[in-house]
Amino acid sequence: MIKKLLNYNKKWRRLFSHDIGIDLGTANTLVYMRGRGIVINEPSVVAVNQKTGQIVAIGTEAKLMLGRTPEHILAIKPLVDGVISDFETTEEMVAYLLSRATAGSNKLLSPRVVVGVPSNITNVEIRAVRDATRNAGAGEVHIVEEPMASAIGMRLPIHEPVGNMVIDIGGGTSDIAVISLGGVVRSKNLRIAGDRFNSDIIAYVRNQFKILIGEKTAEAVKMTIGSVMPTHAPFEAPIKGRDLVTGLPKEVILTDTDIREALSQSVETLIEAVREVLESTPPEILSDIMQRGLHLSGGGALIKGLAELIENEINIPVHVPADPLTAVARGCGIILEDLERFKDVLIVNEDELPPKK
């Protein structure tokens, strides 16, 4: 009888409410809608008019304003290192995304939402995500750690007694996690990811060429010619910035070798963190990982040669899914399809979390 009531309740909720998965990232926020897939992929940027306090633009439109706004308009990233740094602006951004995702539909109940967050964040940070999402219009909010959501999105057998290792390289953080039987066995979170790579390129260009470039320029050159392994044919791209000596505009040519040198220290730290997690992993699970390999996800997985470099350094196969950028959002969507099955992977209550080390 109870089972029938639960099934009836699920059908009723599906009829009258939306199910939405959100990958709330430092660089980009993705929204997954049950039955439609990824419906929104927008930069996590908000432009605010400081005179009136009003939101001027959100997402792609706001990102175009970075570094190009007058004094009274501020283009900001409300999430830093994967966690909320500006609560009210994040709330506005999430409300805008939920409104866009549900536009044109007439469902009666507030949406049921699953949000991905970095591993090892504090109770206060989780509460901020939960409150911001609820205040933005969500009716039911569930929180899941991003490496777990990523593993689910890549269809790894997380509930089976086998070891799965995921490296999720986002914009603000990289999450390294070993998963087995629906739980995280070992994990490490570090602040080396897409934003750090951009900063490394900016610092390298400043030191080597005495030119100051912006974050958007660094990101563009990273995506076009960035490589952490030598390539068969050299890549190069022109970049424009301000000459630190004369103060005038200047253009130089960057090569893939320059990008490799700029990123070398951060990439080495990332690989060392992978080694540390492997060294503390139980032998039986380590055996599974050696056989099954590591799985890269997140935007950082798209950097040319990164999977190959990690594989060469740790002697374990490294796999990259067809669309690593959307793995977390797709995982949130899969969780929504069967919350009962995945309830053990959710952070049910922030007070039940173990204290942060």
Q: Which residues are part of a known binding site?
A: 26-28, 171-173, 219-222, 299-302
Give the torsion through C-alpha atoms of 193, 121, 342, 19, to 10 deg: -80
Residue ranges at the known binding site for ATP: 26-28, 171-173, 219-222, 299-302
Q: CA-CA distance, 8 to 183, in Å (whole number)?
A: 29
Residues linked to residue 20 through DSSP beta bridges, in sequence order: 33, 113
Cβ pair 133, 113 in contact under 8 A: yes
b/e code 64-88 from CB counts within 10 Å (16+ = b) = ebbeebeeebebbbbbbbbbbebee
Q: CA 206, 259, 265 angle in degrees (round to 5)? A: 85
Going by DSSP bridges, is the β-strand pair 112-117/55-58 parallel, antiparallel, or unpaired? Answer: unpaired
Q: Answer whether 328's CB lies under 8 Å from 296's CB.
A: no
Tokens of 328: 């977390």
Strands 46-49 and 164-169: unpaired
Phi, psi of 195 (to 5 degrees): -65, -40
Three-state SS string over 197-233 comes to: HHHHHHHHHHHHHCEECCHHHHHHHHHHHCECCCCCC
Please name every residue paired with 116 in a beta bridge, in sequence order, or none if there are none.
23, 144
C-alpha–C-alpha distance, residues 27 and 325, integer Å:
11
